[in-house]
Chains A and B, each alone.
Chain A
């Protein structure tokens, strides 16, 4: 069991894939096991996840220009008309 315990460095090498849920179930479990016993890595992984969430959250605040939908509607109407 302890044979396949990850070191901090090995856990960190899997950080990006782990946060993106791109690791297989085995490796995911290994990283999770490390984070359960290593407060330092757990803290650092947590901050990295927060960085990604913060970027996503800021980007979600971008609003479409107010007249964009109307411009699209008009364009589609014009296209329908020209296509007969």
Chain B
């Protein structure tokens, strides 16, 4: 008795899998079928979060090819440990944790040296402060909003990628995962207070980079928002 949604899942799996099962030697049918069902279940959970996983991987690795490799490697590890996943709990959190850990352990092997973090104290609400230097207090908010509206995903990604690593990891988890400080602390194995300070500082650095990128791309030019450039 196969539940209808499971049957649908198997049929949507694609011919590749069915062919593979069909070509296995006799007497091994029960095992591969159960394996195939497990794979179907795993892939059905993975597919809706794949874009988020790739986005997180992109910010961790800072390049597309490595990001793809990382997601694939994490998927394989996660599938091997799928028995340990408690059904009905947050698959996204579970998988993103594996992805982050996969990145961290791989990185330790490849590049053991720690990155020096230049201390740069950026004030809070950096964009608003900058906006207020070229626009009136009433218009500063509109200017920030206009700049944000013009920034492309690639520019935001580039700004996060440019952050020193200790800030980048925390920021990537925060923005992509919508994680609480507690969750980030558990994933990275650092105290909540460290997450908080890195995140707060990282966000200020991020605002500064975004503003610089916007300036470099001419998005801030013309202090009056809504005039001139149309994106």
**Residues of A at under 8 Å CB distance from B?**
12, 15-17, 20, 22, 43-44, 46-48, 50-52, 54-56, 58-65, 68-77, 79-81
Contact = CB atoms under 8 A, between A and B. Distances in A.
A62 B141 contact: no
Contact of B153 (A44, A62, A71, A74): A62
Interface of B: 13-14, 16-17, 20, 32, 35-36, 39, 42-43, 46-47, 50-55, 58-59, 64, 68, 71-72, 75-76, 79-80, 124-125, 127-128, 140-141, 144-145, 148-149, 151-153, 156-157, 160, 175-176, 178, 180-181, 196, 199-200, 203, 206-207, 210
Contacts of A64: 50-51, 53-54, 71
A79 B50 contact: no
Given A56-B175, A72-B75, 11 more contacts: A16-B200, A58-B153, A59-B153, A59-B176, A60-B55, A65-B54, A65-B68, A68-B50, A72-B72, A73-B13, A76-B79
Given A16-B200, A47-B128, A72-B75, A77 B16 contact: yes
Contacts, number: 127
A16 B199 contact: yes
B180 A22 contact: yes
Contact of A51 (B51, B148, B157): B148
Mostly helix, strand, loop or mixed at chain A's interface? helix
Given A48-B128, A64-B51, A71-B72, A76 B43 contact: yes
